[in-house]
Amino acid sequence: MFEALKEAFPMSLGLALSPFPLIAIIIILMTPKAKSNSLWFLLGWILGIYGIGLLIIIIPGLGSKHDMPSVYSGVIRIVLGLSLLFFAFKTWLNRPRSEDEIVTPKLFLSIDKFGVRKSMLTGFLFSAANVKNMAFSAAGAVRINQSLPENESIFIALLLFSLIGSLTLLFPVMVYVFAEKRIEPTFLIWKKWLIKNNATLLVFMLGFVGLILVKGGIEILK
């Protein structure tokens, strides 16, 4: 199982470094219902990753037998990798300039008014309905499916993959549990920095994982 998680680690890293869900959970942690809403948001995020991965594993033809990656899986890796590289290039071209005013995305202006259900749904949509995060979840599930026999260990590994992809969201929640309101000024600084630098983070994240996927796909097709 360790080998499977190692294979899927670049994809879990891509999920963990996604700036928008991190901004969202930091905003939630500065609201009156911080503890409950942040935990439900985190649960929704994890379920979204796990759900996409589960679909990839149970749909015939997307995976392959243990230690025998199929040509189809190689093509999938290349397509996913090129898609991520395209998004990285597009994000770089549309990045804000240093003289531009920092604009907070509209979603983040209302997220502090969310309740439990909306918090969970938002977390789920960030992972299950976002093209980039769906690609990371799908690619990670393919790697896990290829690295493990077809038994229950695949589903345990997929759960661990989902948790690893959620560590950066869990970190501010744990910080809040211990520091509570005292940490809010720090959260405000983090939020501003993430909003200002989200394009750079996205370019790095998408480019890094995209290159790994393309490289892996080419090696399979050789």
Q: pLDDT per position in the chain (222 positions), as tens? A: 778 888 888 889 889 988 889 989 998 988 888 888 999 999 999 999 999 998 888 875 555 444 455 676 678 778 878 888 888 888 888 776 666 666 666 767 778 788 888 999 999 999 998 888 888 898 888 888 877 766 668 889 999 999 999 999 999 999 888 887 788 888 888 888 888 777 888 888 888 888 888 887 787 777
Q: Is residue 50 within 8 Å of 162, Cβ to Cβ?
A: yes
Compute CA distances 1 → 51, 82, 171, 195, whole Å.
Answer: 19, 28, 24, 36
Question: In which domain, by residue range, is 84 found?
Answer: 2-221
Residue 182: CB partners within 8 Å, gap ≥ 6?
Answer: none
| Residue 176: both structure tokens together | 């809040």
Q: Is residue 220 within 8 Å of 73, Cβ to Cβ?
A: yes
pTM, 2 dp:
0.81
Q: Report the alpha-carbon distance of residue 96 to residue 198 in Å, rounded.
A: 10
The total number of structural domains in the chain stands at 1
